[in-house]
Amino acid sequence: MGAGGGAGEEERGRVMRPVVCVPCRLFFKPKKLGVTIGEGMPDGIGGWQAYKLWQGDLWACAGCGAEIIRGFGQRAIAEHFQAGYAQAVQACRPLFRVDDC
C-alpha cells in the first residue's frame, strides 16, 4: 500500500476491514495510495497552526464519489518541532489540513 504508513494495518498482520458507503450501499475502493494530509493544532488565540504530517490511502465510492483517507501509519511522517518540517511540507504537498481535535 502507500509509502510512509499507508499499509500500516496490513504491515502489522491485520487485514483492513472494508468500508461501506451507506447511501450507495457500495464498498469504498482505493483511489490513490500514499497521500499526505496535514494536522493542525490550536494556536492558543482562537486559530490553528501546523502540527503534523500524516500519510494514508485515499479511497472513493464509485456511486456518489465520496472520499475517505484510511490506512494511516502508527506515527506521523513529520512533526512541527522537527528540523526540516517546512521542507517536508513542501516535498509532500499535503492535500489539506485537518483542524480538529
What's the length of the chain? 101
Q: Read off the pLDDT of residues 56-96 as tens digits, 9 standing for 90 and up.
A: 999 999 999 999 999 999 999 999 999 999 999 999 999 99
1-5, 31-35, 66-70, 94-98: the lowest-pLDDT one = 1-5
pTM (predicted TM-score): 0.80
Closest CA to 89 of 97, 6, 57, 42: 97
